[in-house]
Amino acid sequence: MPATKIVVNIPGEDAYDVRIGPAVLDDLGASLRALPGVGAAPRLLVVSDDNVAPLYLDAAKASLNAAGYPVSDIVVPAGEASKSLAVIGEVWEAMAQLGLTRDCAVVALGGGVVGDLAGFAASTYMRGIPVVQAPTTLLAMVDSSVGGKTGVNLETGKNLVGTFKQPSFVCASTSTLATLPEREWRCGCAEVAKSAVIDSDEFFFWLMDNADALAARDEAVTAEAIARCVVFKARVVSEDKTESRGVRECLNYGHTLGHAVESLAGYGTYSHGAAVAEGMRFAARLGAALAGTPVELVQTQDALLDALGLPALAWSASPEAMLSAMKRDKKARAGVVRFVLPLDVGRWELRDVDDDVILEHLRAWEASK
Ligand code: NAD
Ligand code: GLY
């Protein structure tokens, strides 16, 4: 299958390519050599995690070495806990001890955790050196590797410290997805569904037709889903790079209730994707009650999520506990909970919803289960 190239053009930033295909990791070195800046880097640092490194670090380094780059690597423990001040401190120290200079570059080889951590390290070390994203999860290919959000977590909450740092290149090697565990696959599928509902009829109905194939990891359908998500995300980010114009927030569809589910059930009980899918189901119902969202959308979205292996959760919590968890989320402003409501496929609005209205709809949602 040939590789696809999508150009991400964000005002005020250098344009960058996203290459999607089974063998693009083998061409990583040659791709970087062709870039202005990174092309002449005297050393590259690959950051990966201890699940991904045994599988793909050698291949990545072989490609970079073949293009003549000296390469160092840092491997962090897999998992969200590595997006911490302690681990970022270790990465900064390692970068300094390796003698990385401002003309060096970082390659993030892994899922969204590695991408956010390595992106944050690159954007802060010596006030910023280039970063290349080489995503290896479906979620990272369809969402986190594009658009430039980086960050680490604090004890108080997720992603509370971070930067916007667009990558110089994104290398989405779809052959790496062969080893992705099923739970992580479904996390990526939830973000694909989110993008399709927010983007357009065209994407949504394509995904309805291809949901079974995506759930079964059909290669051509997967590559097309990634490409469609990248085009969608690039458009959103080009309109609102720093989430300050009320546009980029659409990417949080499903996340208001989703984050509350993750935190109340205990992180790791449900995957992020399963929680986001639950949040999409609730937000569509809230939209139907408050904003005229067609009932057909609620139903077709339910069917889509079911087909992608993201069934409604059997779990429930008290509406009061869910509301307080939503208020603790960093997206809540001055204690007011904000939802992305789908008005229809391809149309959405941001809505501050009063506590009593949320409670009423959470009660109805619980009663309907
Ligand atoms: P992850 O990076 O933790 O990866 C999930 C698991 O899969 C890990 O155990 C990892 O080691 C393993 N893995 C990765 N690639 C693999 C492969 N090819 N084969 C086998 N195992 C593999 O999680 P994720 O879902 O990719 O990313 C979640 C993170 O992304 C969160 O920290 C979230 O905050 C962040 N995020 C960032 C953005 C953004 O715009 N920057 C957007 C969405 C999510
Ligand atoms: N995934 C959210 C964003 O990039 O804005």
- 210 is annotated as an active-site residue: no
- Chain segment 291-316, per-residue pLDDT in tens: 999 999 999 999 999 999 999 999 88
**CA 256/CA 252 separation, integer angstroms:** 7
* Predicted local distance difference test score (pLDDT) of residue 1: 84
Number of helices (H), then strands (E), belonging to the chain: the values are 13, 11
What one-letter code names the amino acid at 120? Answer: F
Tokens of 345: 């496929």
- 252 is annotated as an active-site residue: yes
* Predicted local distance difference test score (pLDDT) of residue 252: 97
pLDDT band at 366 (very low <50, low <70, confident <90, very high): confident
* Predicted local distance difference test score (pLDDT) of residue 331: 72
Given the CA of residue 143, which atom of ligand 2 is nearest to it?
1
251 CB within 6 A, ligand 2: yes
- 248 is annotated as an active-site residue: yes
pLDDT band at 191 (very low <50, low <70, confident <90, very high): very high
- Chain segment 27-52, per-residue pLDDT in tens: 999 999 999 999 999 999 999 999 99
CA 96 vs CA 61, 91, 101: distances in Å: 20, 9, 8
Mutate to test the pocket of ligand 1, among 56, 82, 143, 144 (most ligand atoms within 8 A of CB): 144
**How would you classify the pairing of strands 131-135 and 105-110?**
parallel
Rounded mean pLDDT, 69-92:
98
- Chain segment 131-140, per-residue pLDDT in tens: 999 999 999 9
- Reply yes or no on whether the pLDDT at 209 is more than 80: yes
- Chain segment 221-242, per-residue pLDDT in tens: 999 999 999 999 999 999 999 9
- Reply yes or no on whether the pLDDT at 113 is more than 80: yes
**CA 116/CA 42 separation, integer angstroms:** 23
* Predicted local distance difference test score (pLDDT) of residue 221: 98
8 Å CB contact between 288 and 364: no
Task: State in Å: Cα 330 to ligand 1 middle.
Answer: 20
pLDDT band at 268 (very low <50, low <70, confident <90, very high): confident
- Judging by beta carbons within 10 Å of its beta carbon (0-12, 13-18, 19+), is residue 295 exposed, middle or buried? exposed
- Chain segment 169-189, per-residue pLDDT in tens: 999 999 999 999 999 999 999
CA 186 to chain centre: 13
CA 11 to chain centre: 21
Ligand number nearest to the C-alpha of 248: 2
* Predicted local distance difference test score (pLDDT) of residue 81: 96
Residues near ligand 1 (Cβ within 6 A):
49, 51-52, 55, 78-80, 83, 110-114, 116, 136-137, 139-140, 143-144, 147, 149, 159, 176-177, 179-180, 184, 187
Mutate to test the pocket of ligand 1, among 48, 137, 161 (most ligand atoms within 8 A of CB): 137
Mutate to test the pocket of ligand 2, among 133, 138, 142, 149 (most ligand atoms within 8 A of CB): 149
Ligand number nearest to the C-alpha of 78: 1
* Predicted local distance difference test score (pLDDT) of residue 34: 97
* Predicted local distance difference test score (pLDDT) of residue 316: 86
Given the CA of residue 147, which atom of ligand 2 is nearest to it?
4
Residues near 72 by beta carbon (within 8 Å), at least 6 away in sequence = 43, 44, 45, 46, 98
In 3D, which of 60, 5, 59, 67 has the Cα closest to residue 39?
67
Tokens of 233: 């995300």
In 3D, which of 244, 254, 181, 270 has the Cα closest to residue 217?
181
**CA 336/CA 314 separation, integer angstroms:** 27
Given the CA of residue 113, which atom of ligand 1 is nearest to it?
2
pLDDT band at 368 (very low <50, low <70, confident <90, very high): confident
* Predicted local distance difference test score (pLDDT) of residue 329: 79
In 3D, which of 111, 146, 109 has the Cα closest to residue 227?
146
**CA 55/CA 357 separation, integer angstroms:** 49
**CA 168/CA 166 separation, integer angstroms:** 7
* Predicted local distance difference test score (pLDDT) of residue 326: 94
Q: SS3 for 254?
A: coil
Phi, psi of 149 (to 5 degrees): -75, 135
| Interior/surface letters 234-243, b for 16+ CB within 10 angstroms, e for the rest | bebbbebbeb
pLDDT band at 332 (very low <50, low <70, confident <90, very high): confident
Average pLDDT, the chain: 96
- Reply yes or no on whether the pLDDT at 246 is more than 90: yes
% the chain with pLDDT above 90? 93
- Reply yes or no on whether the pLDDT at 330 is more than 80: no
